[in-house]
Amino acid sequence: MKKYAQLTREELLALEEQLLAEFKEEQAKNLSLNMARGKPGKAQLELAMPMLDVLNHAADMNTILGNDTRNYGDLDGIGECRRLIAAMMEVQKDNVIVCGNSSLNIMYDTVARSMLFGVNGSTPWCKLEKVKFLCPVPGYDRHFKITEQFGIEMINIPLSETGPDMDLVEQYVNNDPAVKGIWCVPKYSNPTGISYSDETVLRFANLKPAAEDFRIYWDNAYCIHHLYDDQHDVILNILTECEKAGNPDMVYIFASTSKISFPGSGVAAIASSINNIQNILNIMTVQTIGHDKINQLRHVRFFKDIDGLNAHMKKHSDILRPKFEAVLNTLQEELGDLGIGTWIAPRGGYFITFDSMPGCAKKIVALCKELGVVLTSAGATYPYGKDPQDTNIRIAPSFPSPEEMAMASKVFVLCVKLASVQKLLGKF
Amino acid sequence: MKKYAQLTREELLALEEQLLAEFKEEQAKNLSLNMARGKPGKAQLELAMPMLDVLNHAADMNTILGNDTRNYGDLDGIGECRRLIAAMMEVQKDNVIVCGNSSLNIMYDTVARSMLFGVNGSTPWCKLEKVKFLCPVPGYDRHFKITEQFGIEMINIPLSETGPDMDLVEQYVNNDPAVKGIWCVPKYSNPTGISYSDETVLRFANLKPAAEDFRIYWDNAYCIHHLYDDQHDVILNILTECEKAGNPDMVYIFASTSKISFPGSGVAAIASSINNIQNILNIMTVQTIGHDKINQLRHVRFFKDIDGLNAHMKKHSDILRPKFEAVLNTLQEELGDLGIGTWIAPRGGYFITFDSMPGCAKKIVALCKELGVVLTSAGATYPYGKDPQDTNIRIAPSFPSPEEMAMASKVFVLCVKLASVQKLLGKF
């Protein structure tokens, strides 16, 4: 098949007619499929059900140190859970606070604390004229919603297959004292699936921020969320590299077991330098007496150690891989040669990113919706919901079954084709 | 025995000598007892252990509406848990958001939201010159720590056996637009154990705040935490009364199951007008995707309904009552006629409040510490830790065993006597 751009007007019109006919057929199927959010599917949720058995009425509820997990205390989390999560985050136990069920909530609170109290003694951001965050794009919509809610100005930074454009990051961070942070998903990035190269991580660690209270918000959401047994992305340890570079306090790392045990009932954590951790605890001690330690203990008793976590993640990947492949195969088969879209085959994480011809993403999402396939809103992967080129679409293959995923992918490529043809015909 | 104030100097000196001898004896025992915090005792924690069995690997994890509690969603909590907690809080399901494990955290976040975003569209408090909260005293130290951390000026309001001094409350709230809130523990108050009279609640509901963003922070922590089967305190429903008085949005109510199921692993909630709830959710939706719904389901499956909650609380009271009585009996027997202290016998809650002679509380707490009995720091029940008369001591009888509690009470009255004698002798 020829590239769409090389087709004549007549060929395009004929193609449109054919696609519209297919569109009608699909419409008649009354599908109802959701590829909008990175929600684990039912089979994945079943994997962790035995976790509910490890603590029963007769269980020993004490930590190794003898603290009763059922009572108040242990603001920073129980020791054995800090150790488990530290191993996952590739840091030491004392660098970690294990909190509640949501790393998003920890990120929110971390920014909120900075707004209200500053960072380790700096001026509270709410007292400043202007606070800016750098936002590698496309990125995670919920990061952008946080900074937007706090009135923080967001600056787009293009993300390539090796990470954010570091020339631009350095230029902003090292020169503008209003730049206080950057959102990063360094591994199996949301939504593009790429992992930061060693050079990228090193350049991050070696930033010379104009603002003393600049921090890297390193959301390592997919740290052990590989899709393939034999092809893991590996990224450099940002905490270690920051230390080496003389910037020990420059990074906050976030992670959770939301996509390991249960979304909403996992454990989430922040890791950072001992100095930062102490500063956080000094404020957090007023916010709460402590987090859910029984759930922390449940996680430790079930997963035991990092090997247990990794073995469990292999089961997840066995479920996820066919879904990702269903999408990727369909994209390759149906769109491979047409020049109307590009995508990245990720080695982990929860998303496949798709870039349409300029100006087509919104249209594609709308067409899919007409056929009963819900995608993340076009634009959501950009600050303020504004994708300047209107090209990026985030596909979340995890929730539907592989069969549903195959159906949804067919719908998706049909809509990509139709939108592209109509775009080339100047119809929108 | 004569009142201490009526003793001659010689009699006081002889008494001091005798008390110092007793003090030495106690010191030799090397006690290590803690009456500092309202922590449930081990026997209480055992009561909820069967709750850990209700959700096992084979459990139906769906809500009544068919939502999978294991996955993301339900920001406001699962319906059946909202209904359960609403019954406990004596409001309707739609007035409630069930959140995570800590009502303190909800209160903190509620004040933090007001600091950052204002209240339902009012000016964010962090943009104001001055924000003030009224603090009925003695009160809950952790309330005061929150307002202190946010730099909110705290104003002491005397608390009597019917509630806060409402003349003073009205004077402040109705005239000073900088007064944005008041901390209340309306039932079995922390630490005095009193419950607000109907007149007090009605006067609260009928306030005419100078500030549109004034709210009553109604921490109903001990709503069903009775000590006696046949003598429950009953307070008027503040939400209903505020509605009737034309102030539907004026109150936020907080509660949790921390002292019903497990401290740190219970469920906590905020209740308010639908308008307030919607305003809170609008901001909260950026903070988190949702709270721990599995734990919410666990609570519903175990307690079932308000009758289940009340039946469970009866078991708690059977454990707590002897501990409270051990303290109260000792106080009555040992200090009853001496004129060196007053206390209140509460019908519920977690504390017994004790007022020493002026200027003695710090000394008593210090003496107890020397004998291995840890009490809440003197002054903690006042904003900024400053008890102007240095009289108030909060006794928390829940954690030690009844035997330990009897020992600790003996130590306490000994220290009260010794401090009082030395005060009368002008020794400090």
Query: What pLDDT shows up at residue B36?
Result: 87
DSSP string, A212-257: TT-EEEEE-TTTT-BS-SS-------HHHHHHHTT-TTSEEEEEES
Handedness of CA A349, A350, A352, A353 (dihedral sign): negative
| Residue A56 forms contact with B (CB below 8 Å) | yes
The predicted pLDDT at position B236 comes to: 98
What integer pLDDT is reported at residue A36 of this predicted model? 87
Task: Work out the pLDDT band at B1, boundaries 50, 70, 90.
Answer: confident
Q: List pLDDT tens digits, range B30-69.
A: 999 989 888 999 999 999 999 999 999 999 999 999 999 9
Identify the burial level of B413 via C-beta atoms within 10 angstroms of its C-beta, where 0-12 means exposed, 13-18 middle and 19 or more buried: buried
Return mean pLDDT, chain A.
97
Please answer yes or no on whether A56 and B59 come within 8 Å at the CB atom: no
pLDDT digits (tens, 9 = 90+) for A273-296: 999 999 999 999 999 999 999 999
Q: How far apart are CA B109 and CA B115, in angstroms?
A: 10
**Residue of higher predicted confidence among A34 and B217:** B217
> Mind listing the pLDDT tens digit for each residue in B282-295?
999 999 999 999 99
Residue in A42, A75, A131, A289 to test binding to B, most B beta-carbons within 10 Å: A289
- Is the domain spanning B4-44+314-424 CATH 3.90.1150.10? The answer is yes
pLDDT of residue B104: 98
- Distances, alpha carbon A129 to alpha carbons A45, A180, B50, in Å: 46, 13, 54
Residue A189 has pLDDT above 80, yes or no: yes
What's the whole-model pTM score?
Answer: 0.97
Q: Can you give the length of chain B in residues?
A: 428
pLDDT at residue A37 is higher than 90: no
Query: Tens of pLDDT along A289-339?
Result: 999 999 999 999 999 999 999 999 999 999 999 999 999 999 999 999 899
- B40 inside 8 A of chain A by CB: yes
Question: If we measure between CA atoms, which residue out of B338, B313, B268 comes closest to residue B89?
Answer: B268
Q: How far is A54 from chain B, CA to nearest CA, in Å?
A: 9
Contact yes or no for A101 and B100 at CB 8 A: yes
> What is the reported pLDDT for B37?
86
Nearest by CB: A72 against B58, B109, B264: B264
Tell me: pLDDT of B113 over 80. yes
d(CA B421, CA B260): 41
Q: How confident is the model at residue A193 (pLDDT cuts 50, 70, 90)?
A: very high
Alpha-carbon distance of A368 to A356, in angstroms, equals: 14
Percent of chain A with pLDDT over 70: 100
The ranges assigned to domains in chain A are 4-44+310-424, 61-304
| CA-based nearest distance A260→chain B, Å | 12
Per-residue pLDDT at B121 exceeds 80: yes
Least confident of A93-102, B28-37, B109-118, B264-273: B28-37
Question: pLDDT-derived band of residue A226, with 50, 70 and 90 as boundaries?
Answer: very high
ipTM: 0.97
Is the per-residue pLDDT at B398 higher than 80?
yes
**B100/A100 Cβ within 8 A:** yes
- Is A108 in Cβ contact with B287 (below 8 Å)? yes
Q: Do A288 and B263 touch (CB under 8 A)?
A: no
Q: What's the gap in Å between the CA of A246 and the closest CA on chain B?
A: 31
User: Which residues in chain A (129-168) have CB-CB distances under 8 A to chain B?
Assistant: 142, 145-146, 149-150
- What phi-psi label fits residue A331: left (phi over 0), alpha (psi between -120 and 50 degrees) or beta? alpha
Q: What is the mean pLDDT of residues A243-260?
A: 98
Task: Kindly state the percentage of chain B with pLDDT values over 70.
Answer: 100
Res. B132 pLDDT band, cuts 50 70 90: very high
Q: Is B248 exposed, middle or buried (0-12, 13-18, 19+ CB in 10 A)?
A: middle
Q: Are B266 and B256 in contact (CB under 8 A)?
A: yes
Rounded Cα gap, residues B82 and B92, in angstroms: 9
* Start-to-end CA span in chain B (Å): 24
**Is A4-44+310-424 a CATH 3.90.1150.10 domain?**
yes
pLDDT at B402: 87
Q: What is the mean pLDDT of residues A44-50?
A: 98
Whether the per-residue pLDDT at A1 is higher than 80: the answer is no
Q: Average per-residue pLDDT in chain B? A: 97
Are residues A127 and B126, on separate chains, in Cβ contact within 8 Å? yes
- Rounded Cα–Cα distance for residues A410 and A406 (Å): 6
Q: A54: which chain B residues are within 8 Å (Cβ-Cβ)?
A: none
| C-alpha pair distances (Å), B383 with each of B137, B156, B174, B203 | 8, 7, 22, 24
Residues 62-121 of A with CB under 8 A from B: 68-73, 100-102, 104-105, 108-109, 112, 115-117
pLDDT of residue A125: 98
In sequence order, which residues have a C-beta less than 8 Å from that of residue A232 and are 6 or more positions away?
A: A226, A347, A348
pLDDT (average), residues B345-350: 97
Question: Bridge partners of A116?
Answer: none
pLDDT in tens, A84-103: 999 999 999 999 999 999 99
Question: How far is B148 from B51, CA to CA, in rounded Å?
Answer: 37
Q: For chain A, give the percent of residues with pLDDT over 90.
A: 97
| Topology annotation, domain A61-304 | Aspartate Aminotransferase; domain 2 (3.40.640)
Mutate to test the interface with A, among B76, B289, B295 (most CBs of A within 10 A): B289
